[in-house]
């Protein structure tokens, strides 16, 4: 039961962020599970780039969601 409680407290965007990082890495021919085959310096650079990519995509998703909510709210006001 403890695992369930910890899972429910997970960052709501955490899974999406991880998927975006995996997407970035996949486009570069690797994944989180194969990072140990890459030299440590290259790992750090690649993970930093992947994190920046994910951050940018999450910001884009948030902006689009805010835009849609704004449109929805504007059309439902008397």
Percentage of residues in the chain having pLDDT higher than 70: 85
Give the tens place of pLDDT for each residue, 13-40.
899 999 999 999 999 999 999 999 999 9
Q: Where does the pLDDT of residue 69 fall: very low under 50, low under 70, confident under 90, or very high at 90 and above? A: confident
**Percent composition of the chain: helix, strand, coil (DSSP 3-state, to 5):** 80, 0, 20
Q: Is residue 6 part of a domain?
A: no
pTM tops 0.75, yes or no: no
DSSP state of 78: -
| Tally of domains within the chain | 1
Judge contact between 32 and 24, C-beta under 8 A.
no
DSSP string, 21-42: HHHHHHHTT--GGGGGGS-HHH
Q: Is residue 7 part of a domain?
A: no
DSSP state of 12: T
Q: Is residue 2 part of a domain?
A: no
Tell me what the pLDDT averaged over the chain comes to. Answer: 86
Distance of CA 73 to the CA centre of its chain: 27
Check pLDDT > 50 for residue 60. Answer: yes
């Amino acid at each position: 039961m403890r695992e369930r409680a910890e899972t429910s407290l997970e960052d709501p965007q955490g899974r999406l962020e991880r998927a975006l990082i995996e997407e970035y890495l996949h486009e570069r021919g690797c994944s989180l599970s194969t990072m140990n085959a890459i030299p440590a310096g290259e790992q750090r650079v690649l993970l930093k780039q992947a994190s920046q990519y994910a951050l940018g995509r999450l910001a884009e998703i948030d902006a689009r969601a805010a835009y849609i909510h704004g449109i929805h709210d504007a059309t439902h006001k008397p």
